A and B are shown apart, each in its own frame.
Chain A
Amino acid sequence: MASWQWFHRLGSPKWLSGTIDRWLPWVLGLGSVLLLVSAIWGLAFTPPDYKQGNSFRIIYIHVPTAIVALAAYYVMAIAGAVSIIWRMKVADMALRAIAPVGAALTFLALVTGAIWGKPTWGAYWIWQDARLTSMLLLFFLYLGIMALHDAYQNSASGNRAAAIMSLVGTVNIPIIYKSVDWWSSLHQPATLKFTEESTIATEMLQPLMLAIPGAYLFFIAAVMMQLRVQIARNEKNTRWMAERAAQ
């Protein structure tokens, strides 16, 4: 069946490596340009928020990194499930590739949020806020998965432990999403909504609409780069990898 060929090819490190080489410059380039344009637009051209003033400009980096940090966890947990059920090598590689990138994005969401919190709420951090603490938990989940990979001598056991932990951690995801609705907190409720009109002015929204796809593309590029390193390490004794290295 032709429609299944891609699924088998996905398991081929050689095919995956070639595909990454072809796509990486475009994904990374477009992602970087979108992030850069949205940053310049959001920093210098959008009017300040009538309540928060200029501190709201942090939104153009805070919201995209937070959204992608959460989406990355979904993808990673799906990879974890695939790894446990079908034992696909590429799923373990994806899990390993996503964890450090997800950790970095979660770190950015936390830090930019804390910096934004100081002029807005008067504090960098409050433990009583469910959105903040559940996001901190996400950060520790990513770090935990990275640590599990490294902790086992036998990489198969490490992969399995990390896959299980990624699945257990999915409990946290709906908590993060709903935290601002379930518990009244300092963190403002979502301003971007899919089912009803967003509660944000159009001119403030426009740069964000560039930054979010930009952050997704940048994330994909970073994961591709992690995958490429893993493939080069796993396949170091193959003829095709030697030929690639010789080029």
Chain B
Amino acid sequence: MYFSNLVELWNMAGHGPYVWSAYAISFIVLAAIIVIPAKHYRQQLKHIRQQQSDNC
């Protein structure tokens, strides 16, 4: 590791808040563009199953 300890890694000589917030926002948005369509897909499959059982 470049930093000598975890506190230094967290602080990044004053740039910590910028760097970590940028990565945190990126993680949230990247997770959202996978999780949201995954949820919609599951809902749609469930909807199709319900439709099927209504027809039977």
User: A interface vs B, CB < 8 Å?
Assistant: 28, 35, 39, 43-48, 53-55, 57-58, 61-62, 65, 100-101, 104, 107-108, 111-112, 115-116, 118-119, 218, 221-222, 225-226, 228-229, 232-233, 236, 241-242, 244-246
A57, B44: Cβ atoms closer than 8 Å? no
Overall SS of chain A's interface: helix
Q: A53-B13, A115-B22, A116-B22 are in contact. List 18 more A-B contacts (CB 8 A).
A: A39-B23, A43-B23, A44-B1, A48-B13, A55-B15, A55-B19, A58-B22, A62-B22, A108-B26, A119-B18, A221-B34, A222-B34, A225-B34, A225-B38, A228-B37, A242-B52, A245-B52, A246-B49
In the complex, which of the residues A46, A221, A245 has the most CB atoms of chain B within 10 Å of its own CB atom? A245
A-B contact number at CB 8 A: 106
Is B30 among interface residues, defined by CB-CB distance under 8 A? yes
Overall SS of chain B's interface: helix
Query: Known interface pairs A108-B29, A115-B21, A241-B48. Does A229 touch B2 (Cβ–Cβ under 8 Å)?
Result: no
A104, B1: Cβ atoms closer than 8 Å? no
